[in-house]
Copies of this chain bind each other. A is one copy, B any other.
Amino acid sequence: MKEDFPTRATIEQALVRLRPHVQLTPVLTSGSLNKIADAELFFKCENFQRTGSFKMRGAVNAVFSLSDEAAAKGVATHSSGNHGQAVAKAAQLRHIPAYVVMPENAPRIKVRGVEAAGGTVIFCQPTLQARQETLDKIVQKTGAEFIPPYNDYRTIAGQATCAYELLEQVEGLDFIIAPCGGGGLLSGTALAAHYFSPSTAVLGAEPKNADDAHQSFYAGYIIPSNNPSTIADGLRTSLGDKTFAIIRNYVQDILTTSEENIVLAMRFIWERLKIVIEPSCAVPLAALLENRPEYLQGKRIGIILTGGNVDLDDFFARYYQEFVLDN
């Protein structure tokens, strides 16, 4: 199985394919966060990525690696979050249709994002079964190519380009910590470090409330989460067979963290770095601060901030009420 993994060349090809379509996102640092963490932290800001998340990288790589003939029929996916927006945008860039199956209860900001990128949203019941059936029907009817959100080597190779860039932007990283949902980003990150900076170890980070990767990592086989409840909505998914195999081989450990510490870390990042990030992004910093493993002390640590698509409706509704309506 191991020889199937995306190779060094596959990731380099993905980089070339992506360059015209994705942002080279900046790396931010904060003296005060370094003090709190007792380490040198380098935040790779994929919240500034097009469509607001790293998912753009996997989607662009997958969509642009299709033959013209396959592409003409369009692409389809299911997503309650950023992957849907990314596939819609990548399809728009290739001038082909995108069909995105979303649960009825998907956050409004994500639905708006798919539509803004010209994607067609097809709502379904919020169950795995309904999602699969709806997607199957769309694919059958249109002939569209399914672009999986993580358990797919095209997606993984695309997402690996984020760590590749980070390793170019910051010299001598001892560690990179990436959050882990389905494991696409984490496995891509692990492959990028393995090929391009073997002295950089890769850690995963997960909410305790959705710790299937942690459990699977130690059990040696996949133990999926069952409908987990966590604020980190991007990390509720469980590992796939492809991502798990890479993670087992190339990831050093998977740290977990409480909901309370996720909110705290999210606040640290908003207040100190002055950037808008999703709760899922805060999980690596939260896990670092909660566990404080000795081997991280004083080290140079890259942290991938995965996205910035937070629903600000309530925040601005309060502002509007307080400062416009009440005055």
Contact = CB atoms under 8 A, between A and B. Distances in A.
A218 interface: no
B275 A274 contact: yes
Contact of A259 (B47, B52, B276, B323): B323
A192 to B, nearest CB: 24
A118 interface: no
Contact of A47 (B231, B274, B324): B274
Chain A interface main SS type: helix
| Copy total for this chain | 2
B316 A229 contact: no
A221 interface: no
A128 interface: no
Interface string A246-281: 000000000000011001001100110111110100
A312 interface: yes
A209 to B, nearest CB: 8
Contacts of A48: 28, 273-274
A230 B326 CA distance: 11
B276 A312 contact: no
A318 B275 CA distance: 19
A327 interface: yes
B327 A229 contact: yes
Contact of A263 (B230, B231, B267, B319): B319
A323 B266 CA distance: 13
Contacts of A234: none
A289 to B, nearest CB: 16
Contacts of A74: none
Contacts of A204: none
Nearest to A307: B274
Nearest to A259: B324
Contacts of A277: 274
A315 interface: yes
A314 B48 CA distance: 25
Interface in A4-54: 26, 28, 47-48, 52
A324 B263 contact: yes
A195 interface: no
Contacts of A229: 327
Nearest to A261: B324
A229 B274 CA distance: 26
B312 A270 contact: yes
A308 interface: yes
Contacts of A308: 274
Task: List the 10 closest A-B pairs by CB distance, nearest first.
Answer: A274-B308, A231-B323, A274-B276, A47-B274, A259-B324, A267-B316, A260-B324, A315-B315, A263-B320, A263-B319
11 contacts: A48-B274, A259-B323, A259-B327, A260-B320, A263-B319, A263-B320, A263-B323, A266-B316, A270-B276, A276-B276, A279-B319
